[in-house]
Amino acid sequence: MADITLKKIYVKVWRQNSAKEKGRFETYEVENISQGSSFLEMLDILNDKLIREGKDPIAFDHDCREGICGMCSLYINGRAHGPDRDITTCQLHMRKFNEGETITIEPWRAGAFPVIKDLIVDRTAFEKIQQAGGFVSVNTGGIPDGNAIPIGYDDAEEAMDAASCIGCGACVATCKNSSAMLFVAAKVSQLAKLPQGKVEAKRRARNMVTKMDELGFGGCTNTGACELECPKGISISHIARLNREYLVAKLAE
């Protein structure tokens, strides 16, 4: 079955030459887009057109285009990663849009994620939070034999669920407070549930939260929006764990 072709759509994009310059919205017409094409392919086609016209193509982040690298972003029609659940922008298809529609595309908006160019934002802040404690530095020896360290099924599952975070920043982008709590919670949880990570649990929670505050992310007000917009569906139950870990760490001081 052939895909339907969208004869004409309008794309309203945020254009900003550099971090220092002021940005603005520009609307472009895009013709003959198959609904079977991905959202980023549509942007590729638009960029191809812009280049042929001698204009500056739209800068946007992308890499693996299979929903695993966490590079693509985009706030599409008022939602992080566009109008679909549990996907990244690269997994979004044009079948989610209609003929003649105006699609609004904005970069992630957060003080901690400054715009570099057009739709690309600087997400180094996440790296800095990770560097503050999102790792295991105790010597855990060589590769252990299978099942040598018993870990309960539920613990293993929860740790793996948290570890599925790709660090794309959709949680920050979608949060009304630009809070990074879901990201930090996932990075703390993936280690807190495992024996290797428990040794540094207190220091980790304390340092990562301190760094998060320092970088200017907002606080969590438990709206739960991040969980629904997270491409990996990471649960805000991890945020409860982070709060617990942090409070325990502070009490122990």
Whether 210 and 253 have beta carbons less than 8 Å apart is answered as no
Report, in Å, the least distance between residue 219 CB and other proteins.
4
Report, in Å, the least distance between residue 158 CB and other proteins.
9
Report, in Å, the least distance between residue 1 CB and other proteins.
29
**Distance (Å, whole) CA 7 – CA 3:** 12
Q: Which residues bind other proteins (CB under 8 A)?
A: 14, 25, 75, 77-79, 83, 104, 106, 109-112, 174, 176-179, 209-210, 212-213, 216-225, 228-229, 235-237, 239-247, 250-253
Whether 221 and 181 have beta carbons less than 8 Å apart is answered as no
Q: Helical H runs in 105-166? A: 124-131, 153-163
Report, in Å, the least distance between residue 237 CB and other proteins.
4
Report, in Å, the least distance between residue 59 CB and other proteins.
17
Q: What are phi and psi of 124, to 5 degrees?
A: -60, -25
Closer of 12 and 65 to other proteins (Cβ):
12
**Distance (Å, whole) CA 202 – CA 212:** 16
Closer of 83 and 144 to other proteins (Cβ):
83
Per the DSSP assignment, residues forming a β-bridge with 14 are 25
Closest CA to 46 of 63, 65, 59, 35: 59
Per the DSSP assignment, residues forming a β-bridge with 241 are none
Closer of 46 and 205 to other proteins (Cβ):
205
- 3-state secondary structure at position 246: helix
How many Cβ atoms sit within 10 Å of the Cβ of residue 225? 21
Q: Helical H runs in 147-200? A: 153-163, 170-174, 181-192, 195-198
Report, in Å, the least distance between residue 148 CB and other proteins.
28
Closer of 120 and 236 to other proteins (Cβ):
236
Closer of 51 and 247 to other proteins (Cβ):
247
Report, in Å, the least distance between residue 162 CB and other proteins.
12
Closest CA to 94 of 115, 108, 106, 76: 76
Closer of 42 and 192 to other proteins (Cβ):
192
Closer of 34 and 223 to other proteins (Cβ):
223
